[in-house]
Structure 1
Amino acid sequence: MPPPPLLRVRLHSSRTLAMIHSSTSHLPHHLPQNQIETNNITQAITYHDRTKHSLTSGYARGPGRLDWVNQPNPFLRFTPSPSFPLLHPTSPLSPHYPTIFDSFPSSPLPLSLSSVSSLLYYSLSLSAWKTTGFSTWSLRVNPSSGNLHPTECHIVSPPLPNSPYNTSPFVSHYCPKDHSLEIRAVGHQNLKLPITSDSLIVVFSSIFWREAWKYGERALRYCNHDVGHAIAAVAISAAALGWDARLLDSLSHSELEALIGVTKTYPPLPEPLPTKPLRGNLPWVESQHPDCALVLFPANTNFTINYPALREFVKEFSYSEWAGKPNSLSKDHVCWDVIYRTAGAIKKPADDNCFSVNPFHKSGLISENLYKDFTVYEVVQKRRSAVDMDRVHIMEKETFYQILLHCLPSGEVGPGEKQGRNFTLPFRVLDWDAEVHLALFVHRVRGLEKGLYFLVRNEGHFDSLKKAMRSQFEWTRPDNCPETLPLYRLAKGDCQDLAKQLSCIQDIASDGCFSLGMVARFEPVLREKGAWMYPRLFWETGVIGQVLYLEAHAVGISATGIGCYFDDAVHEVLGLEGKEFQSLYHFTVGGPVLDKRIMSLPAYPGPGENAY
């Protein structure tokens, strides 16, 4: 029986890409604040439209070819700066993978050199080296688009027991290549970091150039996907130690810059910014852009943050002496001007919101038997991005439902409660309600009809979604779907060719068990909260993506994030018009094809595998 007309729709782009070079990062100071914010939102939306891939207008602007001579170094170092190695766990204890979504371990580990080492080893370290004999490259525990790793990690710590810095607070940079910390600045002994002695702050920053080298103007999107993956990776690793995690999102972009010494380390961006792509030796292109800070603390405790005291600490600590200069990543660069102009428009301002921690909700669990007998640490280290799918593996319906249950923000909810607030691991790290939903293309799930499905992750959006999407959609609950899983079938039919076409004609989107597009409530969020929510929507997709990666490996298969897709063609299939909802990330899950020509080597060679 042929698929219904809906799944055989002829796709076309509804608009050409905007090519407007409008600057909002250097607005006149006399503009009223509401006009500045309106201009910033316009810049974010303009960037988003401009960087869409189109079936008819072509791909977003990029380099066209790869300049291998100037491929950025994936490892940042600060020289000279004090450095000390972190411990390499040899026999780590960690919870059975599915139990981490049920509760935190009852006894959190104390903050120490050993626990910080484990936190970073099982979230951001190298997981392997790969070689073909002609070339060798590293993989990391946290995924990255193109394996380019624009995300850098900084640790802001109180005095750390069993370390060389056990009397004063300090800021360090994490070096995954050798699993070590570089000390950037040390506070005086009378300066107190205003968090409890058993807590820690992690700051993420992005080097846009690492992604832009390959992906051009669309790179800002991918950098923020990676931030989301890193946030989830750290939250999961922290949970295995018995620690909870929460964004410190009332801090401003400039406060984060001061906290990790950006202005003390890098040359300032030129004023005015270029108004077109610029080639040359441009050291400022390698600057770090602070993204966010997380605080990690013992779970199930009455933890709080005094933001005024933390701001005073940041101010005083910024006067510290900063050690080391960053190594050069490339000899020559291309400045994709719209990236830096948009980054300026989406900076987070400070706010007066109070710090709060959401109650913990367990995620729905059908059966632990659906998972392999892996610990959390085994799953995160086995995670790989599949290059191809085998077109053979068939997923059981219960496994499909289980994966989606772990993608829900609120988990097990009581009678009358709906999905929306972020209570479950790792989504509880975010301090806004869920804004991202999943449009699913089901290809090979036993007991589930092929077709287009939709997971509503915030049920407060249900009416808006149904009104915005095609009127022909069924919105039917599939058979035996868990009651707490808001999953709906929109249309029956084989959508393998459609999924492939939407994801830039990539077979990997059609050859697995299922693929999906992450659809976010978009312009209303920016209007309600501000332009600074633009990157945060991508962070949320990255957190979801990290869960999909881990779930796939925990059941014995694989997954891959897909950043290349035809944006407005996705919207057309769903019937979405305007910018109320936008597709921000694609993903695919299935049985991987392993390339036997590539050899795996230990992440950290030594006397024993992965031993220091």
Structure 2
Amino acid sequence: MLSRRTTVAAASSSPGSAGTQSAPSSSGECEPERRRRRQQAETYHEQTKHSLTDGYARGPRGLDWANQPNPFLRFLSSPLVPLQHFPLPEHRSHGKDLPLYHSVFSAVSPAAPQPLSHASISQLFYDSLSLSAWKTTGASTWSLRVNPSSGNLHPTEAYLLSPPLPSSSSTAASSSPFVAHYAPKEHALDIRAVLPPDFLPRFFPSSSILVGFSSIFWREAWKYGERAFRYCNHDVGHAIAAVAIAARALGWDARLLDGLGCTDLSNLFGLGMGTSSPHPPEQLPSRPTRGRFPWVEMEHPDCVLLVFPAGLAAGSEFSVDYASLSGEISKLRSLDWFGSPNALSKDHVCWDIIYKTAEAVEKPTTAVDRFSVDPFCGSGLLSEGLYKDLTVREVVRRRRSAVDMDGDHALKKETFYQMMLHCLPSGDLARGEKQGRPLALPFRVLPWDSEVHAALFVHRVVGLPKGVYFLVRNEDHLDSLRKAMRSEFEWEKPDGCPDGLPLYRLAWGDCQDLAKQLSCHQDIAADGCFSLGMVARFEPVLRERDAWMYPRLFWETGVLGQVLYLEAHAVGISATGIGCYFDDAVHDVLGLKGAEFQSLYHFTVGRAVQDKRIMSLPAYPGPDIDA
């Protein structure tokens, strides 16, 4: 039952869901070019599947430790602005003013919008993208971050575009609007350029900032080979959600500026500017090739978020003129850009299909897109008592990826249902309304209706029978899912399932061995309380909207994964994202044929087993800390 392989060419059609993206024609590309781009995305996706019968996707046969990429990018010789540090999470007496974790999901803002300042920017990055700890054992030492990453390799880089930042310290703030790269090791800003004074005020509300992301594919490809492009985009989604949640704790909101294209983002972040960094050759190698390829260390622009005071859109409507904004962004190339990026490795491997696919799925500027901010919708809350009364900072900075689960801990049914409620994109809707629109935190940062669902393998949830369940995150897809999946599935609501939670039991039975097998024979998928596969509407999305939705589907899985991470830690257990799984074996279990739906990410939630050989050290040791 688990050995059949499907092909993208066998894709079936599905009616589209109501979304907020523009029509495909908005890119202005001819149909043959759009088809070429879709085919490249589909080819990549098919080629990089792991298979029970045909083996794993291509990757390095061993790890070249001498060329492990440096996880920290710095722009040498650029001005460095240190950011403010904050009390450690265990110092509860110093964090009484921070909102409780569960309160950030409430429709009532947990905090009045904080003024834009050096301190608030410091807090935003400290609680989203900074280091969370150092780990050491024997001769090895490595850092952990607030935002997770596949293999702890961290291909995601962050940028800030900000007005001048007031500060009580004249040496710590920028007196001009600026573009900066965030340096997590130092918790500081590499100033890349000074912006024209009217650039941000002309297009965005007062007290707004832009936070952008780029990816260095080589960091992931060093370990994972061709499949790395998938993992880089998971990480982008995790980073998006991390910033959105940290922004909410400051009384701010965030929204993806998805009308901008790849070239706009490159100009906005100053990628490749002010430096003699080599560029990719016009003709890539036709196969994975080892050698000295410095250009593989270049950053690929992913996306940018507008971060602004919550409630601003409700009080005074504002829009973004993407056509004019794109024109002004192009002028930023002429700025004086400071600093040059440090080298990450001496030698490299060029995984050609990654760069061919990245080019194919680059998004053009879609000037007809309309920017909008929906009212905030709170998520359903069964009981505050289900959480540990932890602050946002305590949860986000204690987040870890479990390496092993104990295979024993059982989750209460009410806690499981609460976690699922926080996974819903639309939050706590009125009776009769459907899930799908991105209204709740952190999904509201995405401008498209949800395309990702969750197939759950329940192992140990007290009061919930073992078996396979399905969380429908966009109820416009329910009929298509039922038609596409096995006819014998029950599609029954489990006992005690809250109203408004579209969770269905598909089949009864112990599925621990099955979950382990599907996730590349990893025990961790069977030893948690539950594991899951994130199933996305796939081929129809690429056809309806365009190839540039391919990475965005992975972003959505990363956003959902970040919620699962934080929910697990907020109730006192742990979680881990799983990128290694047998794609089509998952589809076989669910009965999915063709490419209408595809599994894009796996996850497991349970109680972690701590390795006592590993010592934990503070992320940023100071004079009052004995490291």
TM-score where L is the length of structure 1: 0.94
Q: How far has the Cα of 1:197 moved from its partner? A: 3.1
Q: Is 2:192 the counterpart of 1:184?
A: yes
Q: How far has the Cα of 1:574 moved from its partner? A: 0.1
Note closer, same or farther for the CA distance 1:610–1:290 as it changes in structure 2 (3 Å cut): farther
Note closer, same or farther for the CA distance 1:112–1:565 as it changes in structure 2 (3 Å cut): same
Aligned twin of 1:99: 103
Do the aligned residues in 2 keep the contact of 1:70 with 1:332 (CA within 8 Å)?
yes
In structure 1, give the amino acid aligned to 2:425.
P
Q: Is 2:131 the counterpart of 1:132?
A: no
Report runs of 4+ in structure 1 exceeding 6 Å deviation. none
Note closer, same or farther for the CA distance 1:16–1:483 as it changes in structure 2 (3 Å cut): closer
After TM superposition, the structure 1 = structure 2 runs for residues 48-197 of structure 1, keeping only pairs within 5 Å, are 48-90=45-87, 91-92=94-95, 93-102=97-106, 103-162=108-167, 166-189=174-197, 191-193=199-201, 194-197=203-206
CA distance in 2, matches of 1:246, 1:483: 29
Do the aligned residues in 1 keep the contact of 2:8 with 2:42 (CA within 8 Å)?
no
Aligned twin of 1:337: 352
Aligned twin of 1:477: 493
Any idea what SS the aligned residue of 1:318 has? helix
Q: Is 2:437 the counterpart of 1:421?
A: yes
Note closer, same or farther for the CA distance 1:166–1:605 as it changes in structure 2 (3 Å cut): closer
After TM superposition, the structure 1 = structure 2 runs for residues 452-471 of structure 1, keeping only pairs within 5 Å, are 452-471=468-487
Aligned twin of 1:228: 237
Q: How far has the Cα of 1:309 moved from its partner? A: 4.0
Unpaired runs of at least 5, structure 2: 10-27, 88-93
The alignment of Structure 1 onto Structure 2 pairs a total of residues equal to 590
Any idea what SS the aligned residue of 2:166 has? coil
Aligned twin of 1:257: 266
Do the aligned residues in 2 keep the contact of 1:520 with 1:537 (CA within 8 Å)?
yes
Identity over aligned pairs, percent: 67
Q: How far has the Cα of 1:277 moved from its partner? A: 1.1
Q: How far has the Cα of 1:263 moved from its partner? A: 3.5
In structure 2, give the amino acid aligned to 1:503.
S
Q: How far has the Cα of 1:609 moved from its partner? A: 4.5
In structure 2, give the amino acid aligned to 1:74.
P
Do the aligned residues in 2 keep the contact of 1:16 with 1:57 (CA within 8 Å)?
no
Aligned twin of 2:361: 346
In structure 2, give the amino acid aligned to 1:179.
H
Q: Is 2:308 the counterpart of 1:297?
A: yes
Do the aligned residues in 2 keep the contact of 1:604 with 1:610 (CA within 8 Å)?
no
Do the aligned residues in 2 keep the contact of 1:419 with 1:457 (CA within 8 Å)?
yes
Do the aligned residues in 2 keep the contact of 1:112 with 1:160 (CA within 8 Å)?
yes
Do the aligned residues in 1 keep the contact of 2:326 with 2:365 (CA within 8 Å)?
no
For residues 170-207 of structure 1, the C-alpha deviation after alignment (integer angstroms, 9 at most, x for no partner) is 10000000100000111244655532331100010000
In structure 2, give the amino acid aligned to 1:344.
E
After TM superposition, the structure 1 = structure 2 runs for residues 409-448 of structure 1, keeping only pairs within 5 Å, are 409-448=425-464
Single out whichever of 351-360 and 324-333 deviates more from structure 2: 351-360
CA distance in 1, matches of 2:214, 2:76: 19
Of 3, 9, 13, the residue aligned with 2:4 is 13
In structure 1, give the amino acid aligned to 2:304.
A
For residues 360-390 of structure 1, the C-alpha deviation after alignment (integer angstroms, 9 at most, x for no partner) is 1110110010011201110001100000000
Do the aligned residues in 2 keep the contact of 1:513 with 1:590 (CA within 8 Å)?
yes
Aligned twin of 1:248: 257
After TM superposition, the structure 1 = structure 2 runs for residues 510-589 of structure 1, keeping only pairs within 5 Å, are 510-589=526-605
Aligned twin of 2:325: 310
In structure 2, give the amino acid aligned to 1:292.
C
Q: How far has the Cα of 1:33 moved from its partner? A: 1.4
Note closer, same or farther for the CA distance 1:186–1:401 as it changes in structure 2 (3 Å cut): same
CA distance in 2, matches of 1:469, 1:341: 33
CA distance in 2, matches of 1:379, 1:305: 34
In structure 2, give the amino acid aligned to 1:219.
A
After TM superposition, the structure 1 = structure 2 runs for residues 261-410 of structure 1, keeping only pairs within 5 Å, are 261-264=270-273, 265=275, 266-302=277-313, 303-351=318-366, 352-410=368-426
For residues 372-424 of structure 1, the C-alpha deviation after alignment (integer angstroms, 9 at most, x for no partner) is 12011100011000000001111000000000000000111113211000000
Q: How far has the Cα of 1:595 moved from its partner? A: 0.4
In structure 1, give the amino acid aligned to 2:264.
E
Q: How far has the Cα of 1:318 moved from its partner? A: 2.0
Note closer, same or farther for the CA distance 1:68–1:17 as it changes in structure 2 (3 Å cut): farther
CA distance in 1, matches of 2:286, 2:375: 47
CA distance in 1, matches of 2:188, 2:394: 21
Unpaired runs of at least 5, structure 1: 1-9, 19-30
Q: How far has the Cα of 1:299 moved from its partner? A: 0.3
CA distance in 2, matches of 1:587, 1:521: 18
Any idea what SS the aligned residue of 1:215 has? helix
Any idea what SS the aligned residue of 1:510 has? helix
Do the aligned residues in 2 keep the contact of 1:276 with 1:337 (CA within 8 Å)?
yes
